[in-house]
Amino acid sequence: MKWGDWIIIIAVLACAAGLFIYRPISRNESRSVYIHCKNHPAVIVPLNAQTNITFTNNRNHITVCIVSNYAYISESTCPLQLCVKKGRIAEPGESIICIPNAAIIAVKGTPSSAMKTDATCE
């Protein structure tokens, strides 16, 4: 190999190292969790907060937990528990919807560079 080849290899490795360093830094962008439940005002909480929020409507209740930059529903009175089984959300655009309790939990913010487009339509 010639010295020019070594320069190209070093430049490519430096770019790759830069991407690995930049990626964790860009993940710490400001993200928030939008929570709306029927007959309650919408609540917006930073995703890095450590909190539990419970909403009660008549006989129904739902508990939203925000822990370690993830949001999830820990308890719900809905019959199928699909919202609880959905698991944790953390990326902007992800959401959990509970139809019986009329609740929406969505992550808002700027998408990270790791998110890829699944498909496009014209």
Asked if the model's pLDDT at residue 111 lies above 70, the reply is: no
Asked if the model's pLDDT at residue 26 lies above 50, the reply is: no
Tens of pLDDT along 45-88? 998 889 999 998 778 889 999 998 899 999 999 999 999 999 99
The structure tokens listed for 89 are 């959300």
Q: Are 86 and 72 in contact (CB under 8 A)?
A: yes
3-state secondary structure of 97: strand
**Distance (Å, whole) CA 58 – CA 104:** 18
**Distance (Å, whole) CA 120 – CA 97:** 24
Cβ neighbours of 2 (radius 10 Å): 7
Asked if the model's pLDDT at residue 2 lies above 60, the reply is: yes
Indicate the helix (H) or strand (E) that contains 84. Answer: helix 82-85
